[in-house]
Amino acid sequence: MWMQIPPQSSEMPSALLSNNGQATSLTMREPNSHVPHFATIPNGPISSLTPYSGLILAICLVILFGLKIILDHYIFPIIYPCALARMDDEARRSFVNYHIAGGVKVVILFIAAKPVVDIVFGQSALSSPMSRLHPKPTMGDILLVLCHLFSSMYLFELVLRRKPSLITIMHHVGGVMIGQSAIALSVDYEHQPNATVEFVMCLVWGFWDVLAEWSTNVAFVLYRIKGDNHQLLARMFATLTVISVLGTIAETIMVMVLFGLSWSVWEIQFKVLTPLLHTLFMFSQLQSARVLFKMFKKEKQRMHDGDEESIRPAASQTDSEPAIQEKHPVSSSTRVI
């Protein structure tokens, strides 16, 4: 007697299918495919806090505004009385912004280091707990809040500064739009098969961006309060120029390697947009390096001019010595010595 073998079902769970029927789960890939861990994370929501994104972003902006009031009106007049006296309104706004942006970036780097490294290079997922002691908050919860803090920092700077440069506007607007778009994609993850992997890739971009921008914030704070120390500023801007260029190269290598290893996961639109967007960000960072190099040359020239001015009085000191002695007669005690 022949046994009738039932046909295997060709249906797959909807969570594993994209809107065009392509599989997105690791189980559907070949066993020998070397796909990085972050590209194998199941597509899903970033956090249970995602529906409250508007409220989180608003709270971050209110906190930054409160910091601006406290620093500008109460703390800085005590700490930097001489430096503030030399600044006009535009310079003072930038000075306050550099402090706020630098402090926010320290918070982002300190808190985001563990979840970003664990997700990109480890075995964690967005739903993994931050601590083994308690299931909440998850890494996705923390990264969602930090992503909104990142966006609010750039939005606040664009509003606070009177005349931001075109490169600054393009960089900040691009950073905000990319970060918020990654969050928006995760809301409709059932129809966006690259929502999770796109968010993780944005984390890599954002982490490098914050790391590179922080040193620049510190440099321009020192530029305002140590403006007469041209040797220090020249060395600082030269060092930052080298760091900026090397950091851009390192970031490009890391992002493109991760992107290439996960090539089979991406849909066609992201295969086109990701290199294009990274090229624009790389151009922006190289423009920042060019500005730092110009500041180095400017401070080096000032240092050279200062050395020449210090030599000129020394050369004419013998000619003016009698007049100086008449103005400041030597006391009897000085003659004895």
Residue pair 157/217 in contact by the 8 Å Cβ criterion: no
Q: How far apart are CA 231 and CA 220, in angstroms?
A: 15
Residues in the chain where the model's pLDDT stays below 70 = 1-33, 307-337
Compute φ and ψ for 30, nearest 5 degrees. -70, 150
Q: How far apart are CA 269 and CA 255, in angstroms?
A: 17
Give pLDDT, residue 162: 87
Residue listed under structure tokens 């423009």: 287
Cα-only R_g, the chain:
28
Give the containing element (helix H, strand E) for 131.
strand 129-131
If one counts every other C-beta atom within 10 angstroms of the C-beta of residue 70, the result is 11
Give pLDDT, residue 31: 39
Q: What residues does 129 pair with on adjacent strands? A: 138
Instruction: Report pTM.
Output: 0.79
Residue pair 72/96 in contact by the 8 Å Cβ criterion: yes
If one counts every other C-beta atom within 10 angstroms of the C-beta of residue 21, the result is 7
Residue pair 138/250 in contact by the 8 Å Cβ criterion: no
